[in-house]
Structure 1
Amino acid sequence: MSTSPAIIIAPDSYKGTATATLAAQYLGEGVLEVIPDASITLAPMADGGEGTSAVFDGEVITLPTTNAAGRLTEASYTFDEATETAYIDIAAASGLPAVADNPVPTTGDTYGTGVLIADAVTRGATRIVLGLGGSATTDAGSGILVALGAVPRNKAGYGIASGGEALIDLDYIDTALLNIPAAAVEWILLTDVDAPATGPTGAAAVFGPQKGATPKQVTLLDASLAHTCTQLDIDGTLPGMGAAGGIAIGITWLSTLMHGTSGHVHIIPGAALIARSNGIEEALPNADLLITGEGRLDSQSFTGKVVGTLQALAQKNSVPLAVAAGIVADDVPAELHTYEMLKSSDVAAQLRDAGRRIAEDFLANRF
């Protein structure tokens, strides 16, 4: 180890308490209290869930829109004018927290996210990066389509109701009023899961209960998604098609309509892409320590999430990895260097303390 160790600090957000950027800052401050000459690189992470858009550079745009229940709200996204790219979290407008007290598993829609997309296109966006985690909906992206002027209709030609359950009546999508510039953008869909659209590991079966769906509603939603894939000629078995309630179904149909192929839709694991874009992959070969963290560390943290992605990169480069978490579950691999944070309402103090403990163990060669 060099006299001035190179340390990369790359946490996920701690939902409801600290953004990834703030978490990295606080962890770094704790490390520097113990190793004042450390060379610290802050690289906030995300995996496609809440907080993904915030890790990218650009102007933060905030505007009125609707939540998953159709009620008025405000939501923000990041727009990088230089690259004509908008970074939008599904969770910003269509997320679960806003409707947690009154879930809308069968009727919730992504219309509010579509409003953000349409706004970004008016500002010059030609590429839309959607973080797909944390949605309250299972509507196959039909709400987004409606916001962009594509209206799902039944056999009688009437527009169908919003939400996933009504998709069982889908016959075709009316594009007479389609927002052509928005429909023609390049789509980057960042997933934190690789679930297919339907079946026992699909959007409804796995994530429906988290969004408030009863077993009967899960069955109805699964049937609706399967019907939608059939009507729109979409392969719902592809990994990631089930993320965020099947949003990739509607997006893939829309883009294929515009371009003749699905080549302008890219379904990518979010954490891996962000680790490349923020320089972690490039910096790791020269690092002495990698620090990450999230609110709850458990077996799910290793299925396309930030911690699992960084663990693989750290192992590849023979760099020790330390994880600071609010809760460390029993099913975490024993060989992982984990640090459960102090119980406190002061998240800055919690993270600084975790940073200090990690640095002390690192200096004591306990890794």
Structure 2
Amino acid sequence: MTQITSSDAPSPTVIVAPDAFKGSATAEEAARWIGEGVRSIIQDAHITIVPMADGGEGTSSLFDGERITLPTTDAAGRLTEASYTFNREEATAYIDVAAATGLPAVQDALEDHPVATTGDTYGTGVLIADAETRGARRIVLGLGGSATVDGGTGILVALGAHPLDSAGHPLNQGGAALVDLADFDTARVNIPAASMEWVLLADALVPATGKRGAARIFGPQKGADANDVELLDRALGHLCDVTGVDPQAAGYGAAGGVAIGLTWLSALMHGNTEHITVVSGARVVAEAAGMAELAQKASLVITGEGRYDEQTAEGKVASAVLDIVQQAGTTAAVVAGSFSVEVPDGVLRVELNDDPSLEEQLRRAGADVAIAYLNTATVQG
């Protein structure tokens, strides 16, 4: 959390709490540029920037601890490097699935070599196993931004649990192969890693299967065509059948169903599912930042994201922040690259312009929010 200082009285108080604008600006950059735009209009504003995340790329960096970087593999199985945050005092590792298994790393190859059906989360499992060797007893795993729909089975392989077909042969990598899943070989499970406490931060509280499931909602953006989507939806359904996981549980479709495999693994270790939790990533980050208290004391809270659309209400940053701000009765605003659904009543909205510089777009948006706020506010401070 960073303050942009003002010369005189800290009134009005403005909180700037956006998500990252993926591929273009980190959450901290976006917050700072929006805040600078507000300051250009309301020069005596007291501005606090609170970078947000929903479980996607950049979530782990918002938590305190040592940044660990190591070699691993991406969703396509290629060598890469990825980082996570390890808090030794808390014995907790904060890991983003997007760090090793993210979509940007394979985006350029999707047209010729789509990975939706064959990509896996093995590289994320490598990070988890490494964290356990450093003393982690709890994994907070951000589930946004993945390139995969493998039900978390790549992580299971990295932790020593191998999916098998009915003949006892190992399955191929990726989600499509799960239609042939019959059992798991657990003879070489990494018991210390598999037995940890799991907190899974879902960027979207969608189910594993069905019309709002992982394959149908997120498969196309990961390179899946219509046939792939149907295959992957069926594969995740079959994985749920084999593992005994409810395919309609909220958040179990995030990151291509990662929670399915990890829930099965945790239950295998402990005999119950009390050691794994799936929660809204944006809500957890907002609570960690003290957003409720900040909103109570603020005159205006600004949030934002790249697209404000039907997925926003399923657990994205803007939705989580707006819920908290509206409960506080504070004026709220949303900055987004586009709006395909309406914002809640009373919420100010600003759409980015077409300036080639995102920095300038966000500064302009901050200024526009400030103008709209001044035009509508009856009491400031």
TM above 0.5, yes or no, is yes
- 1:59 corresponding residue in structure 2: 66
- 2:22 corresponding residue in structure 1: 15
User: 1:110-134: per-residue Cα shift (whole Å, max 9, x none)?
Assistant: 0011111111112211111111112
Q: Distance in 2 between matches of 1:31 and 1:57?
A: 28
- 2:246 corresponding residue in structure 1: 235
Q: Which ranges in structure 1 are unaligned for 5 or more consecutive residues?
A: none
- Residues 157, 273 of structure 1: CA spacing in aligned structure 2 closer, same or farther, 3 A cutoff? same
- Displacement, 1:59? 2.0
User: 1:313-364: per-residue Cα shift (whole Å, max 9, x none)?
Assistant: 1111110111222233464457431122232333333222222232233334
Q: Does 2:215 correspond to 1:215?
A: no
- 2:296 corresponding residue in structure 1: 285
Q: Which moved more, 1:66-75 or 1:54-63?
A: 54-63
Paired letter, 1:212: G
- 1:273 corresponding residue in structure 2: 284
Per the normalisation by structure 2, the TM-score is: 0.90
Q: Distance in 2 between matches of 1:218 and 1:121?
A: 34
Q: Which ranges in structure 2 are unaligned for 5 or more consecutive residues?
A: 1-8
Q: Does 2:93 correspond to 1:91?
A: no
Contact 1:299 1:332 in 2 (8 A): no
- 1:189 corresponding residue in structure 2: 200
Q: Does 2:213 correspond to 1:206?
A: no
User: 1:222-255: per-residue Cα shift (whole Å, max 9, x none)?
Assistant: 2222221122222222111111111111000111
Q: Distance in 1 between matches of 2:303 and 2:256?
A: 28
- Residues 333, 280 of structure 1: CA spacing in aligned structure 2 closer, same or farther, 3 A cutoff? closer
Q: Distance in 2 between matches of 1:3 and 1:54?
A: 29
Q: Distance in 2 between matches of 1:280 and 1:333?
A: 19
Contact 1:150 1:175 in 2 (8 A): yes
Contact 1:50 1:134 in 2 (8 A): yes
Q: Distance in 1 between matches of 2:50 and 2:60?
A: 14
Paired letter, 1:66: T
- Residues 199, 360 of structure 1: CA spacing in aligned structure 2 closer, same or farther, 3 A cutoff? closer
Q: Distance in 1 between matches of 2:261 and 2:10?
A: 54
- Residues 139, 361 of structure 1: CA spacing in aligned structure 2 closer, same or farther, 3 A cutoff? same
- 1:311 corresponding residue in structure 2: 322
Q: Does 2:175 correspond to 1:168?
A: no
Percent of aligned pairs with the same amino acid: 56
Contact 1:93 1:112 in 2 (8 A): yes
Q: CA RMSD in A?
A: 1.9
Q: Does 2:311 correspond to 1:300?
A: yes
Q: Does 2:33 correspond to 1:26?
A: yes
Per the normalisation by structure 1, the TM-score is: 0.94
- Residues 150, 35 of structure 1: CA spacing in aligned structure 2 closer, same or farther, 3 A cutoff? same
- Displacement, 1:104? 1.0
Q: Distance in 1 between matches of 2:349 and 2:243?
A: 46
- 1:159 corresponding residue in structure 2: 170
Contact 2:56 2:96 in 1 (8 A): yes
Q: Distance in 1 between matches of 2:46 and 2:326?
A: 21
Aligned ranges 1:34-183 → 2 under 5 Å: 34-100=41-107, 101-102=109-110, 103-183=114-194
Contact 2:308 2:341 in 1 (8 A): no
Q: Which moved more, 1:27-36 or 1:15-24?
A: 27-36
- Residues 298, 335 of structure 1: CA spacing in aligned structure 2 closer, same or farther, 3 A cutoff? farther
- Residues 12, 233 of structure 1: CA spacing in aligned structure 2 closer, same or farther, 3 A cutoff? same
Aligned length in residues: 366
